[in-house]
A and B are shown apart, each in its own frame.
Chain A
């Protein structure tokens, strides 16, 4: 079945770049999202990318999409302690019905 996979943990030094990776299986996904979840809080949308794009940059965040390999990554430049959180990758599609699948989350 359809799935979204992420590594569970990532540890980096303050000031370094963080790269969080995600793979998905549904090629019909229209949008791919990155959410951030801080302790005790709900998910907050960080950024998203449309499936016909291969890169999107938003301040310290860079999203790269390799549609052929179904691979998505989130790069956080100059990582700060406030970036510590769980980051979820999610795919979204609407073919015959709305569908969204979240990855398990990467704890940074």
Chain B
């Protein structure tokens, strides 16, 4: 398996624009996670899905952020409208299960810069 795939790897946009980040989890993994990494706040869990259903989105910072998982092999994280403080690296991760040492496999991340 190619691992977790994220696109784009880098995104530069202007304030107010819509940004869509994409993730393809590892086939067969039932859980998908979206994280944000910044210097100020470190790594934060934004939302996670189980079998395509959002389970906990309490980490989503604002209503400008939304995430979907239309099928088992694809998820999107959308920011509309984007703001400079959204600049961060966004990671997607997937796992077979939760806990019991179930490893979360991380994608390479999308580095977002909002000007």
Question: Which A positions have Cβ atoms within 8 angstroms of B?
Answer: 30-31, 40-45, 48, 50, 88, 90, 92, 94, 97-98, 100, 102-105
Whether the Cβ atoms of A31 and B93 lie closer than 8 Å is: no
Over the window 43-76 of chain B, the binary record of Cβ atoms lying under 8 Å from chain A Cβ atoms (1 yes, 0 no) is 1110010000001100000000000000000000
Interface size on B, residues (CB 8 A): 20
Whether the Cβ atoms of B42 and A30 lie closer than 8 Å is: no
Whether the Cβ atoms of B42 and A102 lie closer than 8 Å is: yes
- Assess A31 versus B101: contact at CB under 8 Å? Given A42-B106, A98-B48: yes
Say what secondary structure dominates the interface of chain A. Answer: strand
Q: Which residues of A contact B107 (CB under 8 A)?
A: 42
Whether the Cβ atoms of A43 and B106 lie closer than 8 Å is: yes
Tally of A-B Cβ pairs under 8 angstroms? 44
Whether the Cβ atoms of A45 and B104 lie closer than 8 Å is: yes
Q: Which residues of B contact A48 (CB under 8 A)?
A: 101
Q: How far is the CB of B20 from chain A (nearest CB, A)?
A: 19
Q: Which residues of A contact B103 (CB under 8 A)?
A: 45
Say what secondary structure dominates the interface of chain B. Answer: strand
Q: How far is the CB of B104 from chain A (nearest CB, A)?
A: 7
Q: Which residues of A contact B42 (CB under 8 A)?
A: 102-105
Q: How far is the CB of B40 from chain A (nearest CB, A)?
A: 9
- Chain B residue at smallest Cβ distance from A94: B99
- Assess A42 versus B99: contact at CB under 8 Å? Given A88-B43, A100-B45: no
Which of A31, A43, A104 interacts with B99 by CB under 8 Å? Answer: A31
Whether the Cβ atoms of A94 and B98 lie closer than 8 Å is: yes
Complexed CA–CA distance, A100 and B104 (Å): 11
Complexed CA–CA distance, A59 and B75 (Å): 36
Q: Beyond the given A42-B93, A50-B101, please list 8 additional residue pairs across the A-B interface where CB-CB is below 8 A.
A: A41-B108, A42-B91, A43-B43, A44-B106, A92-B99, A98-B99, A102-B44, A103-B42
Q: Which 4 A-B pairs have the closest CB atoms?
A: A42-B106, A102-B43, A104-B42, A43-B106
Q: How far is the CB of B4 from chain A (nearest CB, A)?
A: 7
